[in-house]
């Protein structure tokens, strides 16, 4: 937790000063850091609200911003979290957690991220991160090739993600 905080400080401090220095402003630097959030995603054998849904990340969609941390938490055994090979924004770092290992991923690049549990990918244990402005790769990752139950889960996930983004677009106009 402390370490994550420090990484956020280094990263956002650098980015913020690069932007703000030409304007001669620096007082706002820490605001972004204070606003950084840790989002917890649980790795579960059964969905807490629907026991017929097995092998799940909960929540399976996270709306986040650059500087936030996604923490994948091992609740049930036998799962991992890893980013999908072509399912992350250009320039973003991939991650691959070990089985039964928690993962803390600090987001540095905005866009859409697909990830999955390796042993349960085709059983539909997949998820989506939406970070900042996702217009750069959202439609592209949506068109990825999905197999087995992975496809069904992503249909559902993207239907809900479309709604989230449409609501935001309506709110900001
Ligand atoms: Cu799994």
Residue 12 confidence (pLDDT) above 50: no
CA 14 to centroid of ligand 1, rounded, Å = 36
Q: What pLDDT, in 10s, does the model give residues 56-96?
A: 999 999 999 999 999 999 999 999 999 999 899 999 999 99
Q: What pLDDT, in 10s, does the model give residues 158-172?
A: 999 999 999 999 998
The Cα–Cα gap between 153 and 136 comes to 23
Residue 34 confidence (pLDDT) above 80: no
Which domains occur in the chain, in start order? 1-35 (no CATH), 37-172 (2.60.40.420)
- The predicted model scores a pTM of 0.80
CA 162 to centroid of ligand 1, rounded, Å = 25
Q: Residue 69 CB: number of other CB atoms within 10 A?
A: 20
Bridge partners (DSSP) listed for residue 61: 128
The Cα–Cα gap between 122 and 99 comes to 16
CA 19 to centroid of ligand 1, rounded, Å = 41
CA 145 to centroid of ligand 1, rounded, Å = 19
């Amino acid at each position: 937790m402390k370490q994550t905080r420090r990484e956020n400080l280094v990263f956002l401090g650098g980015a913020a000063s690069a932007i703000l220095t030409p304007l001669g402003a620096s007082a706002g630097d820490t605001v972004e850091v204070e606003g950084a959030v840790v989002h917890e995603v649980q790795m579960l054998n059964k969905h807490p609200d629907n026991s017929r849904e097995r092998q799940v990340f909960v929540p399976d969609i996270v709306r986040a911003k650059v500087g936030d941390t996604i923490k994948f938490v091992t609740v049930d055994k036998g799962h991992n979290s890893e980013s999908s090979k072509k399912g992350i924004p250009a320039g973003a770092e991939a991650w691959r957690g070990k089985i039964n290992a928690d993962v803390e991923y600090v987001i540095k690049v905005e866009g859409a991220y697909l990830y999955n549990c390796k042993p349960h990918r085709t059983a539909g244990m997949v998820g989506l991160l939406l970070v900042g402005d996702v217009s750069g790769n959202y439609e592209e990752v949506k068109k990825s090739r999905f197999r087995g139950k992975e496809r069904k889960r992503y249909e559902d996930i993207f239907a809900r993600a479309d709604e989230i983004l449409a609501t935001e677009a309506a709110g900001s106009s």
